[in-house]
Structure 1
Amino acid sequence: DSITEGKLIEWTVAVGDYVEVDEVVARIETDKITVDVNMPESGTITKLLAEAEDNVDVGQDFFTFEAGPAPEGGAKKAAAPQEDKPAEAPKAEAKKEEPKKQAPAAAPKAAAPKAAEPKAAAPTPASFDSRQETRETMSTMRQRIAQRLKDSQNTAAMLTTFNEIDMTNIMALRNKYKDEFLQKHGIKLGFMGAFLKASTSALEHQPMVNAFIEGNEIVHRNYVDISVAVASPKGLVVPVVRNCNQMSMAGIEKEIGRLADLARNNKLAIEDMIGGTFTVSNGGVFGSLMGTPIINPPQSAILGMHGTKMRPVVTESGAIEARPMMYVALTYDHRLIDGREAVTYLRRVKDVIEDPSRLLLEL
């Protein structure tokens, strides 16, 4: 789960630039996040030891500098982006407009009424000519995700079990207290906090789901660190909410909010991404009805939440009612976790969400 290398995606300075302490010198893309490399102290860049797109190792030196005050009339690194901008494609696009100006200059449009039908047929072959394929290098993050997910499929004996949850009571609880919760805690009351709290309770009841295999040993944990998928400018990232077993629902909601803010601003640190004993993924925010999530190794299980839909439900009295229902899926490593433990875990999550008072009464 540790990070050992990354790709140098860009330099923001050039040799001879004077850079103030803590200013960004370069950006490195790891398999988890994009990291800014800051100037350790003010000085002038003397040598760049790596080029953009090079792979760099953790702890590797890839530039040198001479510490000291700014030289008189010294170039600032702001000059570099100014040179890049004229080199980019917008001016090339301006040149492409010239043929467009010649097109209306050719007078055939005056004769268009006579040849209107033949000209209407012309775009058809042109559309075939416009078909093309483009290629791009996979980012370090995407390559690592692809590798890890394939390794997960090749290593774990993955199996998925499903259940459905009646969201009526948890939705009523949220609607009743959301304004008061926001006023007191400064964070919106969502459903992720409830699901993380329910997952934590279920993991404590079924600790094998929180364990993992290392070699020929089973590693048990007495803590619960839940990885939560959140959106970022670079795509989905999975920061970790640590010590969920020691946190209140309000504390969990605050931590999710803090991590989500960091993700949106591309400021997640590597430390925010490392670790995690279990993962909760909410595909419902994208409209997912049902799915089978893939385990994030070395974890042994992942809970998938899905969209809440109104569906007919037969109540205990035999009546048919429309209820807000959510499908949930637990994918688990069958080498470690038996079906009984997986089903019991998922049933515990269902019971807590459908009747949140169970947590209050410790039932």
Structure 2
Amino acid sequence: MIEIKVPELAESITEGTISQWFISEGDRVSQGQLLVELETDKVNVEINAEHDGVAEKILSQAGDNVEVGQVIAILKESAESQQPEGADQSADQPAVSSAAVPADERETEEKPGRDEPGERDSRNRPTATPAARKLARQLGIDLGQVQTRDPLGRVAVEDIMAHSSAKTIPSPQDVPAGTETVRLEHAARPDNDRTHVEASEPAIAPDKPVERLRMSRRRQTIAKRLVEAQRTAAMLTTFNEVDMTAILDLRRRRQDAFTKQHGVRLGFMSFFTKAVIGALKAFPMLNAEIQGDEILLKRYYDIGIAVSTDKGLVVPVVRNGDSLSFAEIEREILTLAEKARDNTLSLSDLQDGTFSITNGGIFGSLLSTPILNTPQVGILGMHKIQTRPVAVDKDRMENRPMMYVALSYDHRIVDGKEAVSFLVKVKELLEDPENLLLEG
């Protein structure tokens, strides 16, 4: 027998959630074949077969939470699967391994006279799929009381769910008019997916379309960290605006030559990354971290760039940004963004940033207050470039491409004066790209 275990994921990650299986019980498996994908707090991990064999038993299903070292499946080696132990094969009948038949089919193989609903197996138990038996055990449901629509009497997960819902939803005669006490599918969920809350809510009309979605592990982690940031940090946001005329003019004049020379377009993020690094050098407390009653000042500049993906927001890190050219920064951001959208980021791509930048402007945001990416103590929010009338001097007004910028910071170690001065420094560097080249 070959045990398939959850591998070591990372120093800070001890569990994951099974995203999907690529094999079923009874499937033949080749060495190197992809078996299952695990979703962790930060990245997805693929587990491949180390040996040839037959998938005899899948112990954890999609959606289950599993820990490092836990056995999630069992393979039977190919040589064993050809002749099961104790099998009495006749010379004119080909040998068939029970491992080659899915478990729920092995439990319901047709036998003489076994074609009526409600039939039981040799141990006088109602026939049911393994997943249904597991769910019934978790919910304390007697399989003999569950009605099934299967013509052979096999109980499925859907039958368990329907039976549980029928027990927990009160009848209309028992509910006061206008209200309904709702048990949030408490009894209809497995242990690792129960909502341990009972609440009184207005009744949902049965003819209204609704959909209940399970939060992915990544979305749960994002939610947890954002709430933690707001709970643990004394977070405050200060605002300013940047005249983007000089940068837009520079990009217009140099874009073709830059792209031809470096093979990548000159975007806005390299300017903002350089401006942030220049400001961090002038105000190092924004590049720090609180550890207990100490402040850890970081003398390196690993800038996190927020990237939106279909599965949620991730913040891959551009390493040693102070030593990179504009082209190298643009190339690195492009690579990280592609990996994020292809779901191929590694944990090392996401760890240990010192400061973050997020750009809501690409979605049309005019102004927002970004939330800290803890344990960092500063994050810069970029926004939409919008043409607005600006007073050039006492007598003249001009339409200029303006961008609001926001700096959220941890007031525990960053004072208001320092935060405002930091943001003013960013503004000055962006409005004078030549100065940005010198100081960034």
TM over 0.5: yes
Q: Bigger shift: 211-220 or 162-171? A: 211-220
Post-superposition shift, 1:288? 0.3
Equivalent of 1:268, from 323, 337, 345? 345
Equivalent of 2:250, from 157, 173, 188? 173
Structure 2: which amino acid aligns with 1:196?
Answer: T
Residue equivalent to 2:285? 208
Residue equivalent to 2:72? 62
Residue equivalent to 1:135? 212
Residue equivalent to 1:248? 325
Q: Distance in 1 between matches of 2:411 and 2:400?
A: 33
Q: Distance in 2 between matches of 1:244 and 1:23?
A: 39
Residue equivalent to 1:319? 396
Structure 1: which amino acid aligns with 2:431?
Answer: E
Post-superposition shift, 1:176? 1.2
Post-superposition shift, 1:39? 2.9
Equivalent of 2:268, from 178, 191, 197? 191
Secondary structure of residue in 1 paired with 2:308? strand
Residue equivalent to 2:178? none
Equivalent of 1:277, from 324, 334, 354? 354
Residue equivalent to 1:341? 418
Q: Distance in 2 between matches of 1:155 and 1:51?
A: 36
Equivalent of 1:218, from 265, 289, 295? 295
Question: What percent identity do the matched residue pairs reach?
Answer: 49
Residue equivalent to 1:14? 24
Structure 1: which amino acid aligns with 2:377?
Answer: S
What do the CA deviations read for 1:65-110 (whole angstroms, capped 9, x no partner)?
A: 45679999999xxx99xxxxxxxxxxxxxxxxxxxxxxxxxxxxxx
Q: 1:48 to 1:344 in 2, by over 3 A?
A: same
**Where in structure 2 are the equivalents of 1:46-195 lying within 5 Å?**
46-65=56-75, 130-195=207-272
Post-superposition shift, 1:232? 2.2
Secondary structure of residue in 1 paired with 2:339? helix
Residue equivalent to 2:312? 235
Q: Bigger shift: 49-58 or 236-245? A: 49-58
Q: Distance in 1 between matches of 2:13 and 2:395?
A: 55
Equivalent of 2:40, from 23, 30, 38? 30
Post-superposition shift, 1:234? 1.6
Does 1:307 pair with 2:384? yes
Root-mean-square deviation over aligned CA pairs? 2.8
Q: Bigger shift: 328-337 or 54-63? A: 54-63
Q: Distance in 1 between matches of 2:96 and 2:343?
A: 31
Q: Distance in 1 between matches of 2:80 and 2:315?
A: 41
**Structure 2 portions without partners, runs of 5+:** 1-10, 83-94, 103-204
CA contact (8 A) 1:194 1:353 kept: yes
Residue equivalent to 2:49? 39
What do the CA deviations read for 1:133-167 (whole angstroms, capped 9, x no partner)?
A: 33222111111111111111110000100010000
Q: Distance in 2 between matches of 1:246 and 1:24?
A: 39
Q: Distance in 1 between matches of 2:54 and 2:320?
A: 44
Secondary structure of residue in 2 paired with 1:62? strand
Structure of higher CA gyration radius: 2
Post-superposition shift, 1:51? 2.1
Q: Distance in 1 between matches of 2:69 and 2:282?
A: 42
CA contact (8 A) 1:18 1:74 kept: no
Q: Distance in 2 between matches of 1:70 and 1:246?
A: 58
Post-superposition shift, 1:255? 0.4
Post-superposition shift, 1:354? 0.6
Post-superposition shift, 1:245? 1.8
- 1 or 2 for the larger relative contact order (CA 8 Å, sep ≥6)? 1
Structure 1: which amino acid aligns with 2:20?
Answer: E
Q: 1:359 to 1:69 in 2, by over 3 A?
A: farther
CA contact (8 A) 2:219 2:311 kept: no
Does 1:362 pair with 2:362? no
Q: 1:129 to 1:5 in 2, by over 3 A?
A: closer
Q: Distance in 2 between matches of 1:160 and 1:153?
A: 12
CA contact (8 A) 2:366 2:384 kept: yes
Q: Distance in 1 between matches of 2:58 and 2:359?
A: 43
CA contact (8 A) 2:18 2:36 kept: yes
Q: Distance in 1 between matches of 2:282 and 2:70?
A: 45
Q: Distance in 2 between matches of 1:317 and 1:271?
A: 52
Secondary structure of residue in 2 paired with 1:358? helix
Q: Bigger shift: 220-229 or 16-25? A: 16-25
Q: Distance in 1 between matches of 2:246 and 2:67?
A: 51
Q: Bigger shift: 175-184 or 49-58? A: 49-58
Q: 1:139 to 1:317 in 2, by over 3 A?
A: same
Q: Distance in 2 between matches of 1:201 and 1:317?
A: 31
Q: 1:338 to 1:40 in 2, by over 3 A?
A: farther
Q: Distance in 2 between matches of 1:247 and 1:62?
A: 44
Q: Distance in 1 between matches of 2:277 and 2:26?
A: 54
Q: Bigger shift: 56-65 or 154-163? A: 56-65
Q: Distance in 2 between matches of 1:74 and 1:326?
A: 70
**Structure 1 portions without partners, runs of 5+:** 81-127
Q: Distance in 2 between matches of 1:30 and 1:157?
A: 29
